[in-house]
Amino acid sequence: MCCRSNSALFVPQAGGSARSIAYSLVALAFLFAVALVNASGLTTTQQQNAPLSSSEAYQKLAVKAANGEYDEKQAQADLVAEGKVDEYAARQELQKIAEKAKKSGKDPSKEQNPSGTGDWDFGAVYAGNTYKANYPLENGCKVGQQVTITYPTRLPLTGPTTVEVPAKSKIDVPMALKFPPPQEAAFVGQNTMCKIMADVLVSVHPELKRVENTPAGKYTYICHQMQRVYTVSLCLYNLKPPDNGGGGGGGKPKKKTPACARLWYSDQFFPTKEIRAPEDCRDEIRDSSHEFFDLMMKPVRAADPGKWAWLPDAAAIDRMSVHQLLTLKQVALEDIGKGSK
């Protein structure tokens, strides 16, 4: 019995050769591949001919671009996923729109709050004294923000935990640092070594959105979440402070210079990208030396002027090198230590 078809392809008879079956399968696979290629070509042609206005993804991206916001990778992903228009041509047009918007001054990336880290050095702090300081908060976004502040757990720095910062503005947040009073007053010859302490203060700006009506359409402006981390450091003296109340840098957070702080407090130097040699710390070491010799050593000097006549005065401190200042500080501390035994 024969079961041949009238079509070009045939179904082999029962018991047909393996070769005939293989040929049939190859022919079927070929026709299927041709059909896929034709369909693909048709789709590509349709995309090339389709107007950009027919793409919902393009319309949304165009509104962002007209307001200076354009992410090429995201645009490519959105256009390819939708598959309605030629994504390359669409991206070229979007880039032109974004460039024109930025030339006119529209750039959302400049209306954000940059994250980062910094250092806030209070310097020498005496137990029992209150040190007032201001923490600067800046909001570069187009919307007001409620900033949350998390305080150090190992340092008694206090202040508000939430602060309202208007759009495009900067405010100072009042804070205070105070350790409990010392158990006993300092006496002449007592070891005046301070205890280095540090912890972090964190401020978090939340993400906020605002829908704006623009000539290109409704645009959603996003103020991205931001976090700043400051390392708060100090050297605590559990002693009665000098007549002027002692040091206490306080003020506002400043650029981080851990290499110079380590050099002053521990006489160890580790270079960084900014601080390559000990002499690069001259300004900081000089300021710390004025605080140490002019203020902290004042009551010791007054008790025995002759013994401490070798200590440098303010003018001499300004002329000395970093090495000389560190050496004199170490000698002074050693002499004080001997006197307290």
Longest dimension (CA), the chain: 132
Nearest Cα residue to 208 out of 74, 112, 98, 114: 112
**Predicted local confidence at residue 7, as pLDDT:** 42
Ramachandran assignment for 250, one of left (phi > 0), alpha (psi -120 to 50 degrees), beta (any other): left
Q: Is the pLDDT of residue 104 over 60?
A: yes
Q: Is 193 helix (H, G, I), strand (E, B) or coil?
A: coil
What's residue 14's pLDDT?
45
% of the chain exceeding 70 in pLDDT: 75
Residues in CB range of 214: below 8 A, 6 or more apart: 63, 66, 67
Torsion of Cα atoms, 228 then 229 then 233 then 238, to 10°: 100
Residue 168 token pair: 């495009």
Q: Strand pairing partners for 251?
A: 133
pLDDT tens-place string over residues 4-21: 444 444 344 444 566 666
Average pLDDT, the chain: 77
Domains in the chain, ordered, with CATH? 18-108 (no CATH), 112-256 (2.60.40.10), 258-341 (no CATH)
Q: DSSP of 206-231, one letter per residue?
A: PPEEEEEEETTEEEEEEE--EEEEEE
Q: What is the pLDDT of residues 151-166, one digit of tens each?
A: 999 999 999 999 999 9
